Structure 1
Amino acid sequence: MKCKSLYWLAFMMCFFAIGCDNTDDGSYVEPITLYEKVNGNWGLTNLKMVDEVAKANKIEPSEENLSTYFNYEDFKIKFNVDEKNQPTSYEVTGNVPPLFAPKGFWALSSAFQSTTGAGTKIYLYSDAQKTQKTDELSLIAVPGKSKEMQFQLAHSSGGVDFVSYVFKLNAIN
C-alpha cells in the first residue's frame, strides 16, 4: 500500500511539474547582423605588414609591425549604417599614408557569419550606388563581446598575393 502511495505521489509531482511549464518564446526580433557589429568608430591597436612571398618561401622576417611608423597610431576608421542597420559610408581619419581609399561607401559579402567557415569580405566603394569597388578587405576577427575587430588588405599581382596588411582595431566609445 505504501508503494502505491509513493507511485501516486511521484505521478502527481510529475504532472504538476509538466503542467506548470509555461514557456514564453517572446516576440520576434530581427537577428543581429554583422553590420551592427562592424558599425561604429574603431581605433588601430596594431598594423602588421606581411610579405606573403617571404612567408610562402619560409624566409624570415616575413612580417613587420607598422603600428608606430608613419603616424599609424593615429589611424581611426568609422563605419556608418542607416536606421535599418544597412551600410552607408566609411571614413579613415588620422594623418596616415592611405593603404586603401580613405573614404567612401561599404558593404559586406554577407550580413551574417558563414556557417561553412568561409570568410566575410568588406567591400569598399567610391560611389553611394556601390558600383565602383575600390578595395576588398577580409574580415578576420568579428567584433563581439570583446569589441575587437581584425581585417586584412591584400595586394596581389596576377592573382597572387605579394603583401598584406593586418589591421587590429578596438571599438572607440
Structure 2
Amino acid sequence: MKCKLIYGLAFVCLLVFGCSKIDDGSHVDPITLYEKVNGSWALTNLKMVDEVAKKSAISPSEQNLTTVFNYADFKISFNVNEKNQPTSYEVLGDVPPLFAPTGFWELSTPFQPTGQVPTMIYLYSDAQKTQKTDELRITSVPGSNGEMEFQLNRSSEGVAFVSYVFRLTAINE
C-alpha cells in the first residue's frame, strides 16, 4: 500500500511539473558596444607617443598633452538612433583638431571581440559612411566604470610614427 502511494504521488508530480512550460521572458536584443560608446565623454588624459622613439628606446617617447592647447576642454559625443545604431559624432571644446571635429561614425563590430582583434571606431564625413576620414582603435572598452580609451595613429607607408591616446570618462547628462 505504501509503495502504491509513493508511485501515485510520483505520477501526479510528473503530470503537474513535467508538462509545465518554462517562461524565459520576452526576447530582448543583446547589449552592443554601441550602447556603451553612445553618449558624451570628457577627456581625462591625452598622451602623445613618438612611436619611432619608443621602438628605438629613446627617451622621452611620450608627452602628456592634457594641459596644453586647451585639451582639458576636449569633449566628444557619439550619437545613436532609437535602434542603437550609430549616427553622428561631435568634438566640443576649443582644441586643435587631431581628427575631423564632426561627422558620422560606426564600429568595426557591434559586439566585444573574443580574439586579439581590436575594435575600431570608423569616422566618416558623410551620413552614408562611404568617405572614411579616420580610425580610432578602442584600447579600453567602456563598462560599468564609465571610462573609455581610444588611440589615433598617424602613419607613413603603413608605419606608425606618432599616436595619440585619449582616456575619457562618461559625462552624466
TM-score (norm 2): 0.87
Q: Distance in 1 between matches of 2:57 and 2:113?
A: 31
Distance 2:100 2:22 in 1: 51
The 5 A counterparts of 1:48-87 are 48-87=47-86
- Tell me by how many angstroms 1:27 deviates: 2.0
Structure 1 residue 99 corresponds to structure 2 residue 106: no
CA distance in 2, matches of 1:172, 1:152: 20
* Structure 2 counterparts to residues 109-124 of structure 1, below 5 A: 109-124=108-123
Report the counterpart of residue 153 of structure 1 in structure 2: 152
Write out per-residue CA displacement over residues 121-141 of structure 1, whole angstroms, 9 at most, x where no aligned residue. 000000000000000000111
Q: Name the SS of the counterpart of 2:100 in structure 1.
A: coil
SS at match of 2:96: coil
Note the C-alpha offset of 1:116.
1.2
- Residue 24 of structure 1, CA deviation: 4.5
SS in 2 for 1:55: helix
In structure 2, the partner of 1:35 is: 34
> 1:77-110 CA distances to partner (integer Å, 9 max, x unpaired)?
0000000000000000100000000000001000
- Opposite residue 127 of structure 2, the aligned amino acid is A
CA-CA distance at 1:28 after TM superposition: 1.5
Unpaired runs of at least 5, structure 1:
1-7
Q: How many residues align?
A: 163
- 1:26 is aligned to 25
3-state secondary structure, aligned to 2:72: helix
Q: Distance in 2 between matches of 1:50 and 1:24?
A: 53
The corresponding residue for 1:139 is 138
Q: Distance in 2 between matches of 1:157 and 1:138?
A: 17
Deviation at 1:60, TM superposition (A): 0.9
Structure 1 position 25, deviation (Å): 2.5
Counterpart residue type for residue 70 of structure 1: F
SS at structure 1 position matched to 2:89: strand
Amino acid at match of 2:64: N
For residues 23-42 of structure 1, the C-alpha deviation after alignment (integer angstroms, 9 at most, x for no partner) is 65322110000001000000
Match of 2:63, SS state, is: strand
CA distance in 2, matches of 1:164, 1:150: 13
Number of the residue aligned with 1:169? 168
Which position in structure 1 is the counterpart of 2:3?
none
**Structure 2 portions without partners, runs of 5+:** 1-5
